[in-house]
Homo-oligomer: A and B are copies of this chain.
Amino acid sequence: MKKAIFYHAGCPVCVSAEQDIVILIGASNVEIVNIGQDRNRIPQAEKAGVKSVPALVTPNGNVLHINFGASMADVIG
């Protein structure tokens, strides 16, 4: 199965959600991307439909926005 991708920006809400997601779906099933640091991944996140972080893009391409840490606008700055 294609991996899910969890996008975050290092915010406290993001870190908490990341831990929950890793426990729920397994570390081997999800790629963790900090778009606050890996800024070259921002366009990919936007293209996937990520509007805020933390967000989980499922293997079939749906975006699950989880809680609310920061808008993409805030991440891009």
Which positions in A face B, CB cutoff 8 Å?
4, 16-17, 20-21, 23-25, 29, 56, 58-60, 62, 64-68
- Nearest neighbor of A21 in chain B, beta-carbon distance: B64
* Oligomeric state, in copies: 2
Query: Which one of A4, A16, A23 has the greatest number of beta carbons of chain B within 10 Å?
Result: A23
Docked complex Cα distance between A36 and B24 (Å): 25
Residues of B within 8 A of A16 (CB): 62
CB–CB B20/A62 < 8 A: yes
Can you name 11 A-B pairs with beta carbons within 8 Å?
A4-B24, A16-B62, A20-B64, A21-B64, A23-B58, A24-B25, A24-B56, A24-B58, A64-B66, A65-B67, A65-B68
In addition to A23-B59, A24-B25, A66-B66, 7 A-B residue pairs with Cβ atoms within 8 Å of each other are A16-B62, A20-B60, A23-B60, A24-B58, A25-B25, A64-B67, A65-B68
